[in-house]
A and B are shown apart, each in its own frame.
Chain A
Amino acid sequence: ELKVEQNPLFLSMQEGKNYTIYCNYSTTSDRLYWYRQDPGKSLESLFVLLSNGAVKQEGRLMASLDTKARLSTLHITAAVHDLSATYFCAVAPYSGGGADGLTFGKGTHLIIQP
C-alpha cells in the first residue's frame, strides 16, 4: 500500500523567509504532483514531476523529485502572504503497476505572517 508522508503539517513563517516542505512516499512511483488549496476552495495544480531529478519552478515556488530516495521537496523562497494556503503532495502509483488513484499526503498548512 502506497503511503505518503508530508512534513511539516503546520508551518508558520514570516514574510521574506525561505522554507522547505517535504514529501516522502513508500513505494515506487514515477509521478508526483503538488497542489495548493485555499480555505473552502478546490485543489489547484502547481507542479507535475515526472522523472528522477525533475525540478520545476514557478515564481517563489520550486519543486524537485528524487525517485531513488522517494522524496519530493517544495521550496518557498522569500515567502509572501499570498502564498498562505494548504499544500498537498500526491503520488500516482507506478504507471506499470495498475491504477489505484492518487494517494495524497495530509497537507501542509502554511501561514505566512507579515
Chain B
Amino acid sequence: KAGVTQTPRYLIKTRGQQVTLSCSPISGHRSVSWYQQTPGQGLQFLFEYFSETQRNKGNFPGRFSGRQFSNSRSEMNVSTLELGDSALYLCASSRTPQPDEQFFGPGTRLTVL
C-alpha cells in the first residue's frame, strides 16, 4: 500500500513569492493535516482538511492557506514568502479526522532566500 506522497520534495523561492505544495494521502484516507517543522519552533500544526472542509487551523497567519479536493488530495499555499517560512512542511493523512492515527509523508523542504 502506497504511503503519503508529497511534491515537490525540495523548493527554493525568494522573499515575496508564493508557493504551492501538494500532498496525496494514503488510499482510503480522507483526512489530511499539514505541519511545519523548523529547528527553532519544532513541529507545529498548520491545518487539517476532511471531506474538502478545513476542520481546524493552527496559529499561523493568513498567508498560509490550503484546500482539499474531492479525491482527498490536498494543497497548501503560502503567499508573500518570508525568510522565516523556510522549513520542512509535512503532510499527514488518516482515515478519519484527528485524533485518529496519522501517517506522515516525506515532506517538502522549502528554502526562502
Which residues of chain A have a CB within 8 Å of any CB of chain B? Answer: 31, 33, 35, 41-45, 48, 88, 90, 92-93, 95, 98-107
Contact = CB atoms under 8 A, between A and B. Distances in A.
A95 B42 contact: no
B77 to A, nearest CB: 18
Interface in B72-113: 90, 92, 97-99, 101-107
A12 B25 CA distance: 36
Interface SS majority for chain B: strand
A33 B42 contact: no
Contacts of A104: 42-44
B105 A42 contact: yes
Given A43-B104, A100-B56, A102-B33, 14 more contacts: A42-B106, A43-B92, A45-B101, A45-B104, A88-B43, A95-B99, A99-B55, A99-B97, A99-B98, A100-B58, A101-B46, A102-B45, A102-B98, A106-B42
